[in-house]
Amino acid sequence: MSDLIRSTAAELAAKIAAREVSAVEVAQAHLDRIAEVDGSVHAFLHVDAEGALAAARRVDDDVAAGREVGPLAGVPLALKDVFATEGIPTTCGSKMLEGWVPPYDATVTRRLREAGVVILGKTNMDEFAMGSSTENSAYGPTRNPWDLDRIPGGSGGGSSASLAAFEAPLAIGTDTGGSIRQPGAVTGTVGVKPTYGGVSRYGLVAFSSSLDQGGPCARTVLDAALLHEVIGGYDPMDSTSINAPVPPVVAAVREGVTGDLSGVRVGVVTQFSGDGYQPGVLRSFEAAVAQLKQLGAEVVEVSCPSFDYALPAYYLIAPSEASSNLARFDAMRYGARHGDDGTRSAEEVMAITRDRGFGAEVKRRIMIGTYALSSGYYDAYYGSAQKVRTLITRDFEQAFGRVDVLVSPTTPTTAFKIGERADDPMAMYKADLCTIPANLAGTPAMSVPSGLSDEDGLPVGLQIMAPALQEHRMYRVAAAYEAARGTVLASVPELAGAR
């Protein structure tokens, strides 16, 4: 396996800037790796080799000309297929958008391009980001590089799997209920959900507008921080974007790697344990907490009672917003069109297209959301869910009055088998039990690898949560923890087809 694909983004950027290696060589090495292993992993829906090499060439030209380049210039990246990319197909894992080539770039896409980041292609995802396993992709599931019979998490399974398969050193995901963190946890990679409003949603195809948040995925905490600073920050095109500087996350990582967490107060959320939690996951979590204590952190237990209602509240709010957001897919302007044989009315064509274009999980959520917003039910469902949301936000505020960060397992279990929960939506939804509260409160949270579960040898994630715009706190703790326990990806199996 080439050293280039094993390198971190920070290492690659340094080598490219120092002209020790060209961005084109780096891009080509990753494109070769994709060609080699993606047949078995299926992390990508679309690979843009030509565009990637052209972007790499531009970085090489800049470096050769002595022009200043950004901290991630020339580093390849896998972009979740939910971000609009001008000239590159964007499907959101749905047949509804098969063949749609956006005429514009998402703000995240634009910032990546401007920073000289090399976009390799678009990654697989649950259709319209609805799911926790990437099995809901209309283009077939992504497989977990740790065990190809298992799911890589979802909805951003493609992004996290591409990191664990060494197809890309960086990826972008979106996290509505855990879609960055849960895939990060089950693939042994780092995934960060920033503060709501911290990363522009302009050009991010909406699932649930009040919860969706784009964020960085990487193999190391430092790489995630570097990417966070590239994509984060105010965007006037997104009204919900926060007009404040990006929290100093790279500096926080540099502080964290010194390994000293003395003075840092860490709260263990008592609600996230017990029934439904895999023992090996809980043991890994306890070991992680012990490690944090060893690094000098002060650990206390914190109760957040409203978190028990987070899952049901989420499954009213997210589908409600989705039912409205997905209404635009009607065959009139772009995307799929079915049943237009010249005899049918516009309404019939809309109905036939939506019936054929959407998968089962998307339809389920559209129907739940449509019902929850109906007159006569609004107060009982959507209204109540919003109240729970307020209570959860209060629980966070009270907790952060006592501690600097909160920790929990990222997911109750390690990666499950493909097909295992496909017919049991409730079991599938529970994969997001620990990650959803941060989405409802709009606060930042991340998952960092906490070793392998002792019973199945699969990766486990430690979730670290911080108050709004205090990302640097969680990055610091994550960096210290990562430095102390070392990487898990060294033990990811060689993939079939790998040299």
Partner 1 sequence: MTSVDELMDYAEVVERFDPVLGLEVHVELHTATKMFCGCANRFGGEPNTHVCPTCLGLPGALPVVNGKAVESAIRIGLALNCSIAEWCRFARKNYFYPDMPKNFQTSQYDEPIAFDGWLDVTLDDGEVVRVEIERAHMEEDTGKSLHVGGATGRIHGADHSLLDYNRAGVPLIEIVTKPIPGTGARAPEVARAYVTALRDLLKALDVSDVRMDQGSLRCDANVSLMAKGAEVFGTRTETKNVNSLRSVERAVRFEMTRQAAVLASGGSVVQETRHFDESTGGTSSGRTKETAEDYRYFPEPDLVPIAPSRDWVEELRGTLPELPWERRRRVQQEWSLTDAELRDLVNAGAVDLVAATVAAGATPAEARSWWVAYLTKEANARGVELGELGISPEQIARVVALVNAGELTNKLAREVVTGVLAGEGEPEAVVEARGLKVVSDDSALERAVDEALAAQPDVAAKIRDGKVAAAGAIVGAVMKATKGQADAKKVRDLVIARCS
Buried b (16+ CB within 10 A) or exposed e, 376-385: eeeeebbebb
Query: Catalytic: 80?
Result: yes
3-state SS class at 394: helix
Judged by CB under 8 A, the residue of 2, 303, 370, 393 near partner 1 is: 370
H helices of 358-448, in order, are 360-372, 384-402, 425-429, 436-441
**Cα-Cα-Cα-Cα dihedral of 463, 42, 124, 48, to 10°?**
120
Q: How far is the CB of 127 from partner 1 (least distance, A)?
A: 13
Chain center to CA of 355: 28
Starting at the edge strand found earlier in the chain, the sheet holding 170-174 runs 44-47, 118-123, 76-80, 170-174, 214-218, 190-193, 445-452, 459-465, 405-409, 265-269, 298-302
CA distance 436 to 304: 13
- For partner 1, the closer CB: 11 or 175: 175
Residue tagged active-site, from 133, 137, 155, 453: 155
Judged by CB under 8 A, the residue of 98, 99, 104, 360 near partner 1 is: 104
Query: Is residue 320 close enough to count as binding partner 1 by CB under 8 A?
Result: yes
Query: Is residue 125 close enough to count as binding partner 1 by CB under 8 A?
Result: no
Q: Of 138-146, 179-187, 202-210, 244-252, which part binds partner 1 (CB under 8 A)?
A: 202-210
CA distance 52 to 54: 5
- For partner 1, the closer CB: 85 or 136: 85
Q: Which positions from 323 to 362 touch partner 1 by CB under 8 A, shown as an x/- string?
A: xx--xxxx-xxx----------xxx--x------------
Query: Is residue 206 close enough to count as binding partner 1 by CB under 8 A?
Result: yes
CA distance 43 to 59: 25
Q: Of 218-226, 272-280, 357-365, 371-379, which part binds partner 1 (CB under 8 A)?
A: 371-379
Q: How far is the CB of 441 from partner 1 (least distance, A)?
A: 15
Residues 6 or more apart in contact with residue 106 via CB below 8 angstroms: 83, 84, 85, 200, 202, 203, 204
Query: Is residue 102 close enough to count as binding partner 1 by CB under 8 A?
Result: yes
Query: Is residue 178 close enough to count as binding partner 1 by CB under 8 A?
Result: no
How many beta carbons lie within 10 A of that of residue 86, not counting itself?
15
- For partner 1, the closer CB: 300 or 346: 346
Query: Catalytic: 155?
Result: yes
Query: Catalytic: 94?
Result: no
CA distance 76 to 250: 19
CA distance 185 to 448: 7
Residue tagged active-site, from 7, 15, 22, 80: 80
Q: Of 99-107, 139-147, 298-306, 307-315, which part binds partner 1 (CB under 8 A)?
A: 99-107
Which amino acid makes up residue 365? R
Which amino acid makes up residue 401? G
Q: How far is the CB of 364 from partner 1 (least distance, A)?
A: 17
Query: Is residue 239 close enough to count as binding partner 1 by CB under 8 A?
Result: yes
Q: Which positions lie near partner 1, rule CB under 8 A?
A: 83-84, 90, 92, 97, 100, 102-104, 106, 201-206, 208-210, 236-240, 320-321, 323-324, 327-330, 332-334, 345-347, 350, 370, 373-375, 378, 382
Active site positions, annotated = 80, 155, 179
